[in-house]
Amino acid sequence: MAFQSSVNPSQLTQLGQANLAEDKRALYLKLFSGEMFKGFQNNTIARDLIMKRTLKNGKSLQFIFTGRTKSEFHTPGNSILGDTNGAPPVAEKTITVDDLLISSAFVYELDEVLSHYDLRSEISRKIGYALAEKYDRLAFRAIARGARKASPISATGYVEPGGTQIRVGATTNDSDAYVASNLVSAFYDAAAALDEKGVTSDGRVAVLNPRQYYELIQAVGTNGLVNRDAQGTALQGGNGIIEIAGIKIYKSMNIPFLGKYGTAYGGTTGVTAPGNTGDFVAESLEDASDAQTGINNDYGTASQFGSKSCGLIFQKEAAGMVEAIGPQVQVTSGDVSVVYQGDVMLGRLACGCDYLNPAASVELYVGASAPSDF
């Protein structure tokens, strides 16, 4: 049997080609897209916990907030033409889309050739992580701001509830934020406050710092923290607490926590840095007011958030997220790739967030006084 001296190009298996036709890299780009989306979805929790709307053909979206109306006894013979005061009162909340949020990387083609692992897949996940982190941070700051606000309904004679701030513990030490019994009491106070303000129990959630969450894990079996769905190895795996007082608990490094994102070590926090296991320096809160370039909603400055906020409890109506461009992927190709011998991989997102119903927001704090409104 004679061997062919050359291979016909049509016989080559093109792993990146769709249906043996068109661009030879088509499937590679879709793989990148999938990895980016997976990285984004796996690392954002706020997107499914608040009101999300898609914006088209505009720069902002209006949310309508309806206040309460009254009831009265009917007098026989009188016409029924609606409440004499024109109730219910209505207010609006407008959320504007911030400038385009991007995360990108340049992949040199030779590096891909020499690399022993899937370089694009790894980079794409990190791009998704970066977008998700910013998304959650903006959403959680909006919720915290809402907890400090009065109701948008200000019509005379109609009193509507505003946000709630609950103190965790009774000392002035930051370490109160990590005491399980303090957190449990705060959860029940928050649940009662939401009930008293007429906020539905559906969709109530809490977001805590990871170390707070694991302090609660260790208290499962006491103070009513019994999770009948996770015991034994599941409990040790960090899934031991589903809810307290009907409030489902999540953990995140992206809530405003004692003036930082992450864990604040040392001082009066009661938490010692990991030391030989690898110190992690938490990132300080940044200025994110509408005076900052690219930001069109007010997420507050670092000083306005202060250093006492230590957790959020809220219901879905607490905040709204407007998305003009959902998470998307763009990759260079063609002549650009030839000129630079590589591709720019870009993840992008255009969104904006703000509080909606302050009554649905609860901010946990430590110290003698609650963080101020802004």
Model confidence pLDDT, tens digit, residues 99-120: 999 998 888 777 666 665 577 7
The residue that leads in pLDDT, 361 or 156, is: 361
Residue 168 CB-density burial (10 A; 0-12 exposed, 13-18 middle, 19+ buried): buried
- The per-residue pLDDT for 185 is 95
Give residue 7's pLDDT: 47
Distance, in Å, from the CA atom of 339 to the CA atom of 325, rounded to the nearest integer, reads 29
Q: What class is the 24-66+85-365 domain?
A: alpha beta
Q: Which residues pair with 309 in a beta bridge?
A: 365
Task: Tell me the per-residue pLDDT of 211-226, one tens digit each, with 9 for 90 and over.
Answer: 999 888 877 666 556 5
Dihedral of the CA atoms 54, 56, 60, 64 (nearest 10)? Answer: -60
pLDDT at 109: 78
Task: Give the CA distances from residue 188 to residues 243, 361, 364, in Å, rounded to whole numbers and listed in that order.
Answer: 11, 14, 12
Percent share of the chain, pLDDT over 90: 43
The mean-pLDDT minimum among 10-19, 179-188, 196-205 falls in 10-19
Comparing CA positions, the residue from 371, 310, 315 lying closest to residue 168 is 310
**pLDDT digits over 26-43, tens only?**
555 555 566 766 777 777
> Using CB atoms within 10 A of its CB, is residue 289 exposed (0-12), middle (13-18) or buried (19+)?
middle
Read off the pLDDT of each residue in 67-80 and give the average, rounded to a whole number.
Answer: 79
Question: How large is the average pLDDT for residues 19-24?
Answer: 65
More confident residue, 347 or 231: 347
Q: What is the mean pLDDT of the chain?
A: 82
Q: At 35, which helix (H) or strand (E)?
A: helix 26-43
Could you write out the DSSP letters of every residue in 192-220?
A: HHHHHTT--STT-EEEE-HHHHHHHHHTT
How large is the average pLDDT for residues 344-358?
A: 92
Task: Look at residue 72 and tell me whether its pLDDT is greater than 60.
Answer: yes
Q: Which pLDDT value is given to residue 4?
A: 47
Query: Residue 15: what residue type?
Result: L
Instruction: Give the Cα separation of 179 and 269 in Å (integer).
Output: 11
In tens, the pLDDT along 302-341 reads 999 889 999 999 999 999 999 998 888 888 878 777 888 8
Band the pLDDT of 9: cuts 50, 70, 90.
Answer: low
